[in-house]
Amino acid sequence: MGNLNSAPRRRVLIALVSLTAVVLIILNRRQNPDASWFSLSAISSSSSVDRGIAHPIPQLMLDAQTKFRALVARQSQTLDQAVREYKKRYKRAPPQGFDKWWKFCEEHDVKVRDEYDQMMRDFEPFFALSSDEMRRRSEQVALLPSIDLVRIRNGDAKVVNIQNGFDDSEVSARARGFKVMIEPFMKELPDLDFPINAKAEGRILIPWEHVHYPNMTKQDSSGGVEDMLGGKFIPDWRGDSSVWEAFRRTCPPTSAARRLYSATVAQLESGQIPMNLLSAQAEARGKAPVPSGDFSFQEDTDDHFSFCDHPEIHVQQGHFFSDWRTIPVLYPVFSPAKAPGFADILIPSHYYYASTKRYTYGWDPVREVIKETDDGEVRWNRKKDLIFWRGATTGGGSSPPGFIAHYQRHRFIRMTSDVTSDKNRTVVVANPPGTNHYVAAQVPIPTLNTFIDAAFTKAVGCSAYPGGGCEAMRREHRFADAVLLNEHWKYKYLIDVDGMGYSARFMGFLASESAVMKNTVYLEYFSEWIQPWLHFIPVSQNYQEIYNIYSYFSGGESLAQIANATNPVPPTIGRKHDGDTQLRLIAKAGRQWKKTIGRKVDMEAYVYRLCLEYARLWADDRDEGSFKG
């Protein structure tokens, strides 16, 4: 056999032993595919104990701080700088009144003054229309159901309802809110009509061909709104189509969404870090590869997710099943939020701007004032270390019916209601607790769900729930009593989940001293101003990373004991991990953002600039309607 103690022979023997171990593991998994195991500990103890797993959250948090500091630092400090930045970004002069807007920002200490790229993208298609066409379309679209006008005449604003015989309980709520937002500066504005969406859902979906080949659609609206739409507009789909079918037409002809059949299945959601890349990065840093798809984290929210490229994901989002018919023509409609593909113009939500007991942190309904600290707020060390959510079963319409179980809220509650299954999830935890040494553990889902307190409070539209209507919905989801808004402040984690549209509680959550987890596919007016992983924690559409988010910040002794059973580690590693402190930093940063950038006056500054851009589109001479300073 020769000398087994020689270095080359020892290396050969070690390789043979390792290869044998790998083969045995593969054979074992083939014979017992449901067995719980992980590659990190099964091959050798040294691969998991000595190397550990590279955790991406610290880097995500560090990158977020760097990005936000850079955003704040690059904001213009003078009017001249702002004008130069505007011309550099948008290849045209700012609108008339830009100097007065700048003075407004200076007087009210508005921090973000240059980040209006999304607003400019919203307005850009309308530069192809003449001013006459712009004015005509602004009034025409208000003839359609659930669109109201905020009309400015001689420096005064009023709300005009043109319902055309359609009865709608939501009429004017958002329009009235917009009117109040413009009151501080409306005397400076010319005569304008603002068509305000009365719904939470987006309204404008323009077919791709009509965007890229304008000759395929009517450009002259002088024949009236019915002429533009090809007939009388019916407010709901009534079974003849759906939002998804209208959305598909906004996608390029070569996209998966436009094909009849597609074998392309998305393995990751937009913004998630690919597992193979994580593993490669980990190996390069001398760390063990990541063991499971549960360990993927969003870099951002899914407000830019491509449903055109990944059409199979559309069944997970209720806005594609809204009953309300969308509008396939370029009309200016101002909405509080929109999903990718919609052509609405974004404005702040009236829920964010107004003060109500349902949505506003610190609101005192008796004295009608907002307090610095809400009466229900508690100190951080007294908050429950749980992820908390309460809400109704709203999430989408029923056109076509049969998809309610897939909507975002239903999937989340069903996942977190599981307290009986024998399935496991792979969770990465600091072990020993307080160190930066991370190992994987297979943890039963019922155990993980003890860290989440989530439930429906009200069943809306449950008769359409597949498999048994209301009874089936209540059987498959946890229900609990409704709670007041200030009950939320008793928890360290508040998860925010979309409903029929955007969630109106986000600003209230940020104002609290709790850390916000945000799940959304909607763009809002502030989307360019806020930084994920600094001000809130982004969560994907499938929620799979929630358990690992909790494990990183709050895993502690309980999960470490589970991990230690299969991944024993020596107690000599330096203590560097303090997840609770890092979680509190996110909570405090979110609150600070709300107090400095998410104020009412910041919303007014946004709307002021929006009004100036819109006024230029109405101007007979748009060059004359530009700033000359």
Per-residue pLDDT band for 572 (boundaries 50, 70, 90) equals low
Q: What is the largest CA-CA distance in the chain?
A: 102
- In the chain, the percentage of residues whose pLDDT exceeds 90 is 73
User: What DSSP letter does each residue of 551-572 carry, written as one string?
Assistant: HHHH-HHHHHHHHHHHS---TT
Per-residue pLDDT band for 561 (boundaries 50, 70, 90) equals confident
Looking at beta carbons, which pairs linking 252-259 to residues 24 or more positions away fall under 8 Å? 252/208, 252/308, 253/208, 253/209, 255/308, 255/309, 256/308, 256/309, 256/310, 256/311, 257/307, 257/308, 257/309, 257/311, 257/314, 258/308
Per-residue pLDDT band for 607 (boundaries 50, 70, 90) equals very high
**Whole-number pLDDT of residue 570:** 59
Q: Is residue 579 classed exposed, middle or buried when 0-12, 13-18 and 19+ CB atoms within 10 A define those classes?
A: buried
Same domain for 411 and 336? no
CA 86 – CA 75 distance, rounded (Å)? 11
Q: Is residue 277 classed exposed, middle or buried when 0-12, 13-18 and 19+ CB atoms within 10 A define those classes?
A: exposed
Answer with the residue of higher pLDDT: 580 or 215: 580
Is 7 a member of any domain? no
Contact 286, 363 (CB under 8 A): no
Written as six digits, the tokens of 617 are 């589109």
Is 410 a member of any domain? yes
CA 118 – CA 613 distance, rounded (Å)? 13
From start to end of 515-555, where are the E strands?
515-519, 537-538
Residue 243's domain spans which residues? 59-266+324-345+608-618
Same domain for 208 and 311? no
Look at residue 288 and tell me whether its pLDDT is greater than 80: no
Same domain for 479 and 447? yes
**Whole-number pLDDT of residue 32:** 39
CA 530 – CA 591 distance, rounded (Å)? 12
**Helix ranges restricted to H, 377-524:** 408-416, 445-448, 469-476, 506-511
Same domain for 70 and 183? yes
C-alpha angle 620-626-627 in degrees, rounded to nearest 5 = 150
Look at residue 335 and tell me whether its pLDDT is greater than 70: yes
Same domain for 561 and 614? no
Average confidence (pLDDT) over 36-60: 53
20 Cβ neighbours under 8 A, 6+ residues apart: none
Look at residue 155 and tell me whether its pLDDT is greater than 60: yes
> CA nearest 288: which of 483, 437, 128, 460?
437
Look at residue 320 and tell me whether its pLDDT is greater than 50: yes
Contact 95, 75 (CB under 8 A): no
Q: Which residues pair with 288 in a beta bridge?
A: 53
Look at residue 287 and tell me whether its pLDDT is greater than 80: no
**Whole-number pLDDT of residue 260:** 59
Q: pLDDT for 97-120, tens place per residue?
A: 999 999 999 999 999 999 999 999
Q: pLDDT for 406-420, tens place per residue?
A: 999 999 999 999 999
Is 4 a member of any domain? no
Domain tally, the chain = 2
CB atoms under 10 Å from CB of 187, counted, come to 12
Is 627 a member of any domain? no
What is the residue-averaged pLDDT of the chain? 86
Q: Picking from 203-212, 294-303, 449-458, which range would have the lowest pLDDT averaged per residue?
A: 294-303
Look at residue 249 and tell me whether its pLDDT is greater than 90: yes
**Whole-number pLDDT of residue 323:** 93
> CA nearest 178: which of 623, 608, 621, 624?
608
Helices 579-596, 546-554: axis angle to 10 degrees equals: 110
**Whole-number pLDDT of residue 529:** 98
Written as six digits, the tokens of 207 are 């077919």
Q: Which residues pair with 458 in a beta bridge?
A: 392
Average confidence (pLDDT) over 243-252: 96
Q: pLDDT for 117-143, tens place per residue?
A: 999 999 999 999 999 999 999 999 999
Same domain for 536 and 424? yes
CA 513 – CA 380 distance, rounded (Å)? 7
Per-residue pLDDT band for 259 (boundaries 50, 70, 90) equals confident
> CA nearest 587: which of 435, 377, 390, 416?
377
Average confidence (pLDDT) over 80-105: 98
Written as six digits, the tokens of 132 are 């006459």
Same domain for 591 and 453? yes
Contact 525, 346 (CB under 8 A): yes
Average confidence (pLDDT) over 569-594: 86
Written as six digits, the tokens of 192 are 């304008």
Same domain for 475 and 612? no
Q: pLDDT for 380-395, tens place per residue?
A: 999 999 999 999 999 8
CA 374 – CA 240 distance, rounded (Å)? 48
Same domain for 501 and 529? yes
From start to end of 305-405, where are the E strands?
334-335, 345-346, 363-364, 369-370, 384-392
Same domain for 304 and 188? no
Same domain for 237 and 330? yes
Look at residue 224 and tell me whether its pLDDT is greater than 60: yes
> CA nearest 351: which of 200, 204, 457?
200
Look at residue 468 and tell me whether its pLDDT is greater than 70: yes
**Whole-number pLDDT of residue 169:** 55
Measured CA to CA in angstroms, residue 302 lies from 419, 523, 532 at distances of 29, 9, 11
Most confident range (mean pLDDT) of 231-235, 398-402, 608-612 is: 608-612
Is 28 a member of any domain? no
35 Cβ neighbours under 8 A, 6+ residues apart: 28, 29
Q: Side by side, which strands form the sheet with 384-392? A: 452-458, 384-392, 491-497, 515-519, 537-538
**Whole-number pLDDT of residue 172:** 81
Output the pTM of the full model: 0.87
Contact 349, 337 (CB under 8 A): yes
Is 289 a member of any domain? no
Same domain for 413 and 482? yes
The one-letter amino acid at 125: P
CB hemisphere CA count around 70 (13 angstroms): 8
Is 64 a member of any domain? yes
Is 510 a member of any domain? yes
